[in-house]
Amino acid sequence: MSLIERAAGKLAKKDIKNFVPGDVLQHDSREKSDRSSLFLSDTEVEKKGGGGSKVARSDLLIDPVNRVTDTKSAKRIDIDLEGLHRKGVVTLHHTKSEVAEQFRLIKRPLLANAFNPDSGIKNGNLIMVTSSLSGEGKSFCSLNLAMSIAMEMDHRVLLVDADVARPSIPVTLGFSPEEPGLLDVIRDPRLSISDVMMKTNVEKLTLIPAGRRHTQATELLASQSMRSILVELAQRYHDRVVIFDSPPLLLTSESRVLAGQMGQIVLVVEAERTTQQTVKESLQQIEVCDVVNLIYNKARAHGSAGYYGYY
Ligand SMILES: Nc1ncnc2c1ncn2[C@@H]1O[C@H](COP(=O)(O)OP(=O)(O)O)[C@@H](O)[C@H]1O
Ligand SMILES: [Mg+2]
C-alpha cells in the first residue's frame, strides 16, 4: 500500500492521532467536520534549468465572461511547461508523476466543497493557500493545485498572486513582476479585476499577478477595496476555482483578515520545521473559516520497511 493510500485511509478513518513525520499531520482538536489533513512529500526537483516564458499581447481576446474586451490590457503568457516540470510542478505531459498523483488527492475534497451544492459552504470556490512562515511551500502548492485542476478537471482556475510583498509566481512562470495586477486594482477604482487577468497556454488557467510594488502592499490586502474584489470574484466567477497564494499567517496580519472571506483555506505545513505549537497558533488565526485543510509538505517518506527515500 502506498504512502498516499495509507494517508488517505487514515483520513477516511479520521485516525490522526498517531502522527509521525511522513504521515498525516495531527492538527488541533477542534471538532470541525470539514477539517482534513493531506500529505505531500517533497518532490524530486531539478534545481537548474526551467527557462522563461513569454508574455504576449493578443489582438483580440475573449475575457472570462466571454465578452470581447479592449485589446490594450489583454495579455497572454506562454508558460514554458517543460521548464515548469523541471521545477517540480504538475504539467500536461507528465500527469503520472508522483506530485501529480498527490495533487489529485489534495484537490478532490477542495472541489467537492466548492461545487457540491450539498456542502453548504459559502464562497467555497475561494481557496486561500497560506502557511505559518515563509518558505513552507505556499507558492509551490498553489501553482500545483491550480495546474492540476486546470488540466484535469472541468473547472476553470484563477490563480491570484496575493503574496504581494514577496510575489514568486512571476519568477516561476517567467513574466515581469511589473505586470499590473491585484495591487493596481485595489488602488485604482477605474480598474476591474478582469483588466489585469493574464490568460495562459494552459487553456483553463488564468493568472492575476500581484501587481506593481507598493510600500503598503500588505496593508492594501486588508482594505475595503480588496473585500469588494473578493465579493466580485466569489459572485461573478462562482464557476471557477480561485486560488490565492497568500502571505504567511504569523509574519503579517493580512491573511488573517482575508481568511474571513474565504470559503476554504489550505494551510501548508513544512515537515520537520514547523512545530505543532506553531500550527496551532496559525489555526487559531484562521478560526473564522470553517473549512481548513492541511498539507504536510516536503515530508520524508517512511514505510513499513523504514525510511525509503527523500522526495
Ligand atoms: N513538495 C515540494 N517538493 C519540492 N520542492 C518544494 C516543495 N515545496 C516547496 N518546495 C520548494 O521550496 C521552496 C520554497 O517554497 P515556496 O512555495 O516558494 O514557499 P512559500 O511560497 O511558502 O514562501 C521553493 O524553492 C519550492 O520550489
Ligand atoms: Mg511564495
The domain that contains 264 carries what CATH number?
Answer: 3.40.50.300
pLDDT at 53: 57
**Cβ–Cβ < 8 Å for 216, 100:** no
141 Cα–ligand 1 center, Å: 8
Q: How do 54-57 and 75-78 pair as beta strands?
A: antiparallel
CA of 42 to the centre of ligand 1 (A): 9
What is the per-residue pLDDT across 18-76, written as a single tens digit (0 to 9) for each?
A: 333 333 343 333 344 445 566 666 654 544 444 455 555 443 333 444 333 444 557 89
DSSP string, 135-160: TSSHHHHHHHHHHHHHHHSS-EEEEE
Binding-site residues, ligand 1, Cβ < 6 A: 40, 42-43, 45, 88, 131, 134-140, 168, 297-298
Mutate to test the pocket of ligand 1, among 140, 147, 164, 246 (most ligand atoms within 8 A of CB): 140
Average per-residue pLDDT in the chain? 80
Nearest in space to 154 (alpha carbons), one of 244, 245, 240:
240
- Of residues 28 and 191, which shows the higher confidence score? 191
Which residue did the predictor score with more confidence, 55 or 204?
204
Residue 286 has pLDDT above 50, yes or no: yes
The number of the ligand 1 atom at minimal distance from the alpha carbon of 142 is 17
Reported as a single tens digit per residue, the pLDDT across 63-121 is: 444 333 444 557 899 999 999 999 999 998 888 888 999 999 999 999 999 999 899 99
Residue nearest to atom 8 of ligand 1 (CA): 137
Domain ranges, residue 170:
3-310
pLDDT higher than threshold 80 for residue 244: yes
Classify residue 51 as exposed, middle or buried by CB count within 10 Å of its CB (0-12, 13-18, 19+). exposed
The whole-number average pLDDT for the span 288-306 is: 76
pLDDT recorded at residue 12: 40
pLDDT tens sequence across 210-233: 999 989 888 899 999 999 999 999
pLDDT of residue 238: 93
Total domains in the fold of the chain? 1
Q: H or E stretch including 131?
A: strand 126-131
Residue-wise pLDDT tens digits, 249-284: 999 898 999 999 999 999 999 999 999 999 999 999
Tell me how far the alpha carbon of residue 87 lies from the centroid of ligand 2, in angstroms. 14
Cα–Cα distance, 144 to 119 (Å, whole number): 24
Which ligand 1 atom sits closest to the C-alpha of 297? 1
pLDDT at 300: 72
Query: Ligand 2 centroid vs 195 CA: distance in angstroms?
Result: 23
Question: Could you give the dihedral angle defined by the CA atoms of residues 184, 187, 192 and 194, in that order, rounded to the nearest 10 degrees?
Answer: 30
